[in-house]
A and B are shown apart, each in its own frame.
Chain A
Amino acid sequence: MSVNEDSPKDRRNDAIAGAAILAIAIVFGAAALREPPAHYDPLGPGTVPLAVSIALGIFGAILLIRTLLGLKVGQAAQSVISGLSLDDPEVDYKLRPGLAAFTYAATAAYVGAIALGVPFVLSTFVFLAVVGVAMARLRRPLMWWVIAAAGAGTYVIHLLFVKILMVSLP
Chain B
Amino acid sequence: MTLIDAFLHLLSPGPMMIMFIGVTIGIAVGVMPGITAGMLMALTLPFTYSMAPVDAIILLISMFVGGISGGLVTATLMRIPGEPNAVMTTLDGYPLAKKGYPGRALGLGNSGSIVGGFVGWIFLVTLTRPIADIAVLLGPWENFALVLTALVLVSSLSRGSFLKGMISALLGVLVAMPGVDQTSGLVRLTFGADALTNGFQLLPVVIGLFALSQLIADTIHVEQSTDHIKASMRGVMIGLRDYVVHGWNMIRSALIGVWIGIHPGVGATVSAIVAYTVAKNVSKKPEEFGQGSEEAIVAAETANNATTGGTLIPLLALGIPGGIADAILLAALVMHNLRPGPLLATTNPEIVNTIMATHLAAHVVMFALMTAGVLLFARLMLVPRAILFPLVLVFCIVGAYSVDGQISDVWIMLIFGIVGLVMELARFPMAPFVIGFVLAPMAEGKLRSALMISDGSMLPLFTRPGSLALLAVAAICFVWPFWREWRARRAKT
Measuring CB to CB, which residues of chain A are less than 8 angstroms from any residue of chain B?
A: 1-2, 10, 13-14, 16-17, 21, 24-25, 28, 31-32, 35-36, 38, 41-46, 48-49, 52-53, 55-56, 59-60, 62-63, 66, 72-84, 86, 91-97, 99-100, 103-104, 107-108, 110-111, 114-115, 124, 127-128, 131-133, 135-136, 142, 145-146, 149-150, 153, 157, 161, 165-170
| Other-chain residue from B222, B417, B429 in contact with A76 (beta carbon distance below 8 A) | B429
Q: Give the docked Cα–Cα distance between A21 and B164 (Å).
A: 11
CB<8 Å pairs between A and B, sample of 8: A13-B426, A43-B448, A44-B184, A74-B164, A79-B84, A128-B390, A128-B391, A167-B46
B410's closest neighbor in chain A, by CB? Answer: A111
Q: Does B343 contact A (CB under 8 A)?
A: no
Contacting pair A41 B189 (CB below 8 A): no
Please give, as numbers and ranges, the residues of chain A lying within 8 Å of B393 by CB-CB distance: 103, 107, 127, 131
Which among B184, B186, B384, B418 has the greatest number of chain A C-beta atoms within 10 A? B184
Please give, as numbers and ranges, the residues of chain B lying within 8 Å of A62 by CB-CB distance: 163
| Other-chain residue from B161, B181, B183 in contact with A74 (beta carbon distance below 8 A) | B161
Interface size class of B (residues with CB under 8 A): 35 or more
Q: Give the docked Cα–Cα distance between A41 and B444 (Å).
A: 12
Q: Does B421 contact A (CB under 8 A)?
A: yes
Known: A41-B448, A59-B170, A132-B387. A84 touches B421 (CB 8 A): yes
Chain B 150-178 interface mask (CB, 8 Å, partner A; 1/0): 00000000111111111100110110010
**A-B residue pairs, 3 tightest by C-beta:** A74-B161, A38-B184, A135-B386
Please give, as numbers and ranges, the residues of chain B lying within 8 Å of A46 by CB-CB distance: 188
Contacting pair A21 B167 (CB below 8 A): yes
Known: A1-B485, A49-B177, A96-B223. A80 touches B158 (CB 8 A): no
Please give, as numbers and ranges, the residues of chain A lying within 8 Å of B398 by CB-CB distance: 157, 161, 167, 169
| Other-chain residue from B47, B183, B394, B488 in contact with A157 (beta carbon distance below 8 A) | B394
Q: Give the docked Cα–Cα distance between A99 and B171 (Å).
A: 30
A134's closest neighbor in chain B, by CB? Answer: B386
Chain B 408-431 interface mask (CB, 8 Å, partner A; 1/0): 001100100110110011111111
Contacting pair A55 B220 (CB below 8 A): no
The stretch from B58-66, B331-339, B399-407 touching chain A is B399-407
Known: A42-B456, A45-B184. A73 touches B163 (CB 8 A): yes
A-B contact count (CB 8 A): 254
Known: A59-B166, A84-B421, A111-B414. A48 touches B171 (CB 8 A): no
Contacting pair A31 B191 (CB below 8 A): yes
Q: Give the docked Cα–Cα distance between A53 and B176 (Å).
A: 12
B211's closest neighbor in chain A, by CB? Answer: A81
Known: A31-B189, A135-B390, A165-B50. A78 touches B158 (CB 8 A): yes
Contacting pair B220 A82 (CB below 8 A): no
Residues 195-249 of B contacting A (Cβ, < 8 Å)? 210, 212-225
A39's closest neighbor in chain B, by CB? Answer: B184
Contacting pair B389 A135 (CB below 8 A): yes
Interface of A is mostly: helix
Please give, as numbers and ranges, the residues of chain B lying within 8 Å of A136 by CB-CB distance: 384, 386
Which among B426, B431, B447, B451 has the greatest number of chain A C-beta atoms within 10 A? B426
Please give, as numbers and ranges, the residues of chain A lying within 8 Å of B270 by CB-CB distance: 78
Known: A2-B488, A38-B186, A170-B407. A78 touches B222 (CB 8 A): no
Q: Give the docked Cα–Cα distance between A170 and B410 (Å).
A: 10
| Other-chain residue from B170, B218, B429 in contact with A52 (beta carbon distance below 8 A) | B170
Please give, as numbers and ranges, the residues of chain B lying within 8 Å of A80 by CB-CB distance: 84, 210, 214, 324, 420, 424, 429-431
Q: Give the docked Cα–Cα distance between A28 and B170 (Å).
A: 12
Apart from A63-B163, A81-B217, A161-B398, what are 16 other A-B pairs with CB-CB below 8 Å? Answer: A2-B485, A48-B447, A56-B170, A59-B170, A74-B160, A77-B159, A81-B421, A83-B220, A84-B425, A93-B221, A103-B393, A135-B222, A135-B386, A136-B384, A165-B47, A165-B50
Please give, as numbers and ranges, the residues of chain A lying within 8 Å of B177 by CB-CB distance: 28, 32, 48-49, 52
Contacting pair A104 B167 (CB below 8 A): no
Q: Give the docked Cα–Cα distance between A77 and B224 (Å).
A: 24
Contacting pair B424 A81 (CB below 8 A): yes
Q: Give the docked Cα–Cα distance between A59 and B161 (Å).
A: 12
Please give, as numbers and ranges, the residues of chain B lying within 8 Å of A77 by CB-CB distance: 159-160
Chain B: minimal CB distance from A7 (Å): 10
Please give, as numbers and ranges, the residues of chain B lying within 8 Å of A2 by CB-CB distance: 485, 488-489, 492
